[in-house]
């Protein structure tokens, strides 16, 4: 007998699982078989990863979690980078339209060495390290990503900030010709994307600037060629494709805080006890996550970096300064 209409629950893995998650699962299965892994990987995925220049970086176990890493395919296909669209797949689809070499960073404000720097002269490739950090998005999903880069403090010291510089401000490239999300009147954000840190947060040893991930240069969708990584704060603080750094006395106006101050604060420290007005922050979906294995877990204060960073906020009411 020919059953024309399968019952609704009779669906294959591929149908219920978002494609990146499905591909990642195949990759994982291949790994457990331990042989001929490459044969089971989708050719396109391999090509994508191989197409990126590799970077050698010394693993830094002191600053790395041993948690299972989120596969390359999820890290590079499920992104927030509104300059290329608001869909999670938009950055992977369109970020190749951005030219990342050469790349210049303007350094301004209260420091002894302002100027327009060529990124190639700012990052010493021999000093690169790998750090495996958790990344917790304010939207309640998270990943574990092996970043390649240097501590932000090592970059900041080159510019010799003045004692009056209490904050560091960052800006992303604003170029509608290369960033389709910045074109037209459909864009919701007032560009460029802006972020900032208090100086003590900026020079904290956990605060990192990434130029790569998974041992390769950063894919454009992840914020090439230079992006911030602040692992104890919600992902929106980790600004991508940085072209401007300014040292200043006043607290900078940052993109999400300006757009919706009741929902997104300047501090944006990961905190399971302070809910977003429209959803709970108590738990998070660790990617890869699918309908059959959503992979929910408890969110930790300061994203699990409490021992390292809690002192920065001693005496502060975290519900008030969210
Ligand atoms: N310029 C810029 N930086 C950005 C964003 C953005 O839209 N534009 N999104 C932020 C958000 S909300 C998150 S969660 C992270 C996502 O980084 P990933 O795509 O590398 O995982 O980037 C952050 N940095
Ligand atoms: Mo985010």
Q: Cα of 225 to ligand 1 centre, how many Å?
A: 14
CB count, 10 Å around CB of 49? 17
Q: How far is the CA of 91 from the centre of ligand 1 (A)?
A: 10
Ligand 1 centroid to Cα of residue 5, in Å, is 42
% of the chain at pLDDT higher than 70: 85
Asked if 207 contacts 149 with a C-beta cutoff of 8 angstroms, the reply is no
Q: Compute, in angstroms, the gap from residue 115 CA to the centroid of ligand 1.
A: 26
Residues of the chain with pLDDT under 70: 1-46, 186
Angle at 76 between CA 40 and CA 90, to 5 degrees: 120
In a domain, 8, yes or no: no
- Residues in a beta bridge with 177: none
Alpha-carbon gap, residue 251 to 114, rounded angstroms: 19
Would 168 be classed as within a structural domain?
A: yes
Atom index in ligand 1 nearest the CA of residue 75 equals 21
Structural tokens at position 156: 């900041």
Say if CB 95 and CB 84 are below 8 A apart. Answer: yes
Evaluate the CA torsion angle 81, 27, 286, 19 in order and state its sign.
Answer: positive
290 lies in some domain = yes
CA neighbor of 308 nearest in space, from 151, 162, 93? 151
Q: Taking a C-beta distance cutoff of 8 angstroms, is the pair 249, 164 a contact?
A: yes
Nearest CA to ligand 1 atom 14: 235
* Candidate of 225, 235, 257, 303 to mutate for ligand 1, largest count of ligand atoms within 8 Å of Cβ: 235
* Residue having the nearest C-alpha atom to atom 1 of ligand 1: 240
- Per the CB < 8 A criterion, the answer to whether 169 and 257 are in contact is no
- Contact status, residue 210 vs residue 227, Cβ threshold 8 Å: yes
Cβ atoms of 22 and 14 closer than 8 Å? yes
Q: Which domain holds residue 72?
A: 13-313
pLDDT in tens, 105-159: 999 999 999 999 999 999 999 999 999 999 999 999 999 999 999 999 999 999 9
Number of domains composing the chain: 1
Distance 15 CA to ligand 1 centre (A): 28
Report the pLDDT value the prediction gives residue 239, as an integer from 0 to 100.
99
CATH number at residue 174: 3.90.420.10
Nearest residue by C-alpha to atom 10 in ligand 1: 236
The pick from 222, 238, 265 for probing ligand 1's pocket by mutation, whose C-beta has the most ligand atoms within 8 angstroms, reads 238
Residue 31 lies in a domain: yes
Q: Quote the longest CA-to-CA distance of the chain.
A: 82
User: How many Å apart are CA 18 and CA 168, to the nearest integer?
Assistant: 38
pTM recorded for the entire structure? 0.88
Cα 15 to chain centroid, rounded = 28
- What pLDDT was estimated at residue 47? 75
pLDDT of residue 221: 98
Q: Is residue 213 within 8 Å of 71, Cβ to Cβ?
A: no
Burial of 312 (0-12, 13-18, 19+ CB in 10 A): middle
Measure the CA–CA gap between 28 and 308, rounded to whole angstroms. Answer: 32
Alpha helix stretches (DSSP H) within the chain: 13-16, 19-33, 37-40, 43-50, 72-75, 90-94, 119-122, 152-156, 199-202, 255-259, 306-309
Q: Looking at residue 251, what DSSP letter applies?
A: P
Token pair belonging to 309: 């960073």
Ligand 1 center to 82 CA (angstroms): 8
Q: What is the pLDDT of residue 48?
A: 81
- Give the model confidence (pLDDT) of 231-245 as tens digits: 999 999 999 999 999
CB atoms within 10 A of CB 288: 25
Best substitution site from 236, 258, 303 to test ligand 1's pocket, by max atoms within 8 Å of Cβ? 236
Pocket of ligand 1 (CB under 6 A): 79-83, 135, 137, 172, 193, 222-223, 235-236, 238-241
| pLDDT score at 13 | 33
Atom number in ligand 1 closest to CA 143: 21
pLDDT tens for each residue of 43-58:
666 678 889 999 999 9
What is d(CA 36, CA 154) in angstroms, rounded to the nearest whole number? 41
Burial class (CB in 10 A: 0-12, 13-18, 19+), 148: buried
- Taking the CA of 231 as reference, the closest ligand is 1
287 part of a folded domain:
yes
Ligand nearest to the CA of 195: 1
Residue 179 — φ and ψ, nearest 5°? -120, 100
Strands 104-109 and 242-248: what pairing? Answer: parallel
- Residues 214, 32: Cα–Cα separation, whole Å: 20
């Amino acid at each position: 007998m020919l059953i024309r209409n399968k019952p609704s629950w009779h669906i294959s893995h591929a149908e219920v699982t978002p494609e990146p998650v499905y591909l990642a699962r195949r990759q994982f299965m291949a790994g457990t078989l331990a042989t001929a892994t490459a044969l089971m990987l989708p050719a396109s995925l391999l090509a994508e990863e191989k197409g990126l220049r590799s970077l050698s970086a010394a693993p830094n176990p002191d600053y790395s979690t041993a948690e299972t890493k989120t596969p390359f395919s999820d890290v590079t296909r499920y992104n927030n980078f509104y300059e290329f669209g608001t869909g999670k797949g938009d950055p992977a689809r369109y970020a190749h339209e951005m030219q990342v070499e050469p790349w210049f960073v303007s350094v301004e404000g209260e420091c002894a060495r302002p100027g327009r720097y060529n990124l190639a002269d700012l990052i010493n490739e021999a000093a690169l390290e790998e750090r495996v950090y958790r990344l917790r998005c304010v939207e309640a999903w998270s990943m574990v990503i092996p970043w390649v880069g240097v501590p932000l403090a090592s970059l900041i010291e080159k510019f010799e900030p003045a004692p009056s510089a209490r904050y560091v401000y960052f800006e992303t490239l604003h170029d509608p010709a290369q960033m389709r999300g910045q074109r037209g009147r459909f864009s919701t954000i007032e560009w460029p994307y802006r972020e900032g840190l208090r100086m003590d947060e900026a020079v904290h040893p956990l605060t990192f600037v990434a130029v790569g991930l998974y041992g390769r240069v950063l894919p454009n969708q992840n914020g090439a060629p230079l992006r911030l990584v602040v692992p104890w704060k919600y992902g929106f603080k980790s600004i991508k494709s940085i072209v401007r750094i300014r040292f200043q006395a006043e607290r900078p106006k940052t993109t999400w805080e300006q757009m919706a101050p009741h929902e997104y604060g300047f501090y944006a420290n990961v905190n399971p006890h302070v809910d977003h007005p429209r959803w709970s922050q108590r738990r998070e979906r660790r990617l890869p996550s699918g309908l059959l294995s959503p992979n929910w877990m408890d969110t930790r204060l300061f994203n699990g970096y409490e021992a390292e960073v809690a002192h920065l906020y001693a005496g502060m009411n975290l519900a008030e300064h969210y």
